[in-house]
Structure 1
Amino acid sequence: MRHRHQPRLDRVSEAPIQRRPRRSFDWSTAFIAVAVAAAAATVYLRDGQARFLEILVHDFYLFVDILPKVLAACIIAALVAVLMPREAVLRWVGAESGFLGIVIATLAGVICPGGPITIFPVAAAFIAVGADIGAAVAFITSWTLLGYARVLVWELPFFGIDFVTWRMIAAVPLPIVAGLLARYLAGVIAARTGPGA
């Protein structure tokens, strides 16, 4: 059985990584631009020019501080997408990985450190090399709800062991449920919009 499927994995590994075409301007960018313009005009008219410039300068320095981190995260994600063994990704968290793939992605989300600037590009890299959308959803949901760094650094000092224990117990099934639901919905949509639909 393993030898029969091996050629398919080899062909997949040699295929170029499929990336969604990106547009420099879309509806989300337009919405953000309108929201920024409206907020800027409101602050300028309500609080005056001095306050407006103060906020603008503060945000500029914030942008300068964040930009290197964003660039580094994007480069890391691109390198991960190239260096990651596609056969292993397809086997463990691919579309045919089944329930085990969701569980593996959930565990990966628990142990992965870093913030959104790191996690989201890595999740995108997983999808680019063939990870199942359900596994990607489980990974991000698990990191958001169960990530150990957030629990140790933030939750335990503020809420204590009892609250954190019950919250973790309640949250454990959620990444798995989210991953299975995302996989099911993606399959339904693909069946309705695919060839011959």
Structure 2
Amino acid sequence: MQADKPQPARRKRKTFDWPTAVLIAIVVSAAAYVFWRDGAARFFDVIWSDADLFVWMLPNVLAGCLIAALVTILLPRDTVSRWVGRDSGLKGILISAGAGIIVPGGPFTIYPIAAAFLGMGADVAAVVTLITSWTTIGMSRALVWELPFLGFDFVLWRWLAALPLAILAGLIVRAIERYWRAGAKP
């Protein structure tokens, strides 16, 4: 039996940080501006509309997080790290591009899965490739919308044009990471 390898260190996250503070400041400023410009009636109309959107989105986000949690249970960390980790090379980027093509669902699914992969030791470049491939190629969108309306030729040409973009995005991120890591060493 293979000896257990040490798990990749998880990045510690703060509960509250500067990007969150900036986002809250922008939201509060925008809300105050709407209240000042359009009055209380419009302000509360916007608040209720946003609350409706939140109530509609919450089950979708929870389902996406549940799927991501199941992915972390089904896929061993060392396998994810080996296939799409920092040392996976071009193979990891190609695997991520292929996975991005076949992952179904919308943003409520892909972003929690991408976060789960990062937490399991996947390389940032591989996750960027996954999301770019899902965004630009996405088989579920092609099968449901593009193929019936635009035909096979269109889908084939779009895929041939878009696949290099996803791979290129991953390679660019990997090169930038390598540059930063090399610059950080004395």
What TM-score bracket applies, with the shorter chain setting the length? 0.7 to 0.9
Alignment of 1:73 with 2:64, yes or no, is: yes
Among 169, 174, 178, the residue aligned to 1:187: 178
Among 91, 94, 103, the residue aligned to 1:100: 91
Aligned partner of residue 30 in structure 1, secondary structure? helix
Structure 1 pair 35–171 and aligned structure 2 pair: CA distance change class (3 A): same
Cα displacement (A) at 1:156: 5.0
Structure 1 pair 50–140 and aligned structure 2 pair: CA distance change class (3 A): same
The answer to whether the 8 Å contact 2:5/2:78 transfers is no
Query: Number of residues paired by the alignment?
Result: 185
Unaligned residue ranges in structure 2 (runs of 5+): none
Which residue in the other structure is 1:31 paired with?
22
Cα displacement (A) at 1:165: 4.1
Aligned partner of residue 172 in structure 1, secondary structure? helix
Alignment of 1:124 with 2:118, yes or no, is: no
User: Superposition pairs for residues 9-24 of structure 1, below 5 Å?
Assistant: 10-12=4-6, 15=7, 18-24=9-15
Which residue in the other structure is 1:115 paired with?
106
**Cα distance in 2 between the residues matched to 1:38 and 1:90:** 42
**Cα distance in 1 between the residues matched to 2:74 and 2:27:** 38
Which residue in the other structure is 1:91 paired with?
82
Structure 1 pair 48–164 and aligned structure 2 pair: CA distance change class (3 A): farther
**Cα distance in 2 between the residues matched to 1:72 and 1:89:** 22
**Cα distance in 2 between the residues matched to 1:86 and 1:41:** 46
Root-mean-square deviation (Å): 2.4
Cα displacement (A) at 1:113: 0.5
**Cα distance in 2 between the residues matched to 1:91 and 1:37:** 44
Cα displacement (A) at 1:38: 2.3
Q: Deviations over 1:49-101 (max 9, x none)?
A: 21221111111121122223323333432342244123322332222322122
Q: TM-score, length-normalised on structure 2?
A: 0.85
Q: TM-score, length-normalised on structure 1?
A: 0.81
Letter aligned with residue 127 of structure 2: A
**Cα distance in 2 between the residues matched to 1:81 and 1:36:** 33
User: Superposition pairs for residues 27-66 of structure 1, below 5 Å?
Assistant: 27-66=18-57
**Cα distance in 1 between the residues matched to 2:146 and 2:38:** 37
Q: Deviations over 1:126-158 (max 9, x none)?
A: 122222222111111100111112233444566
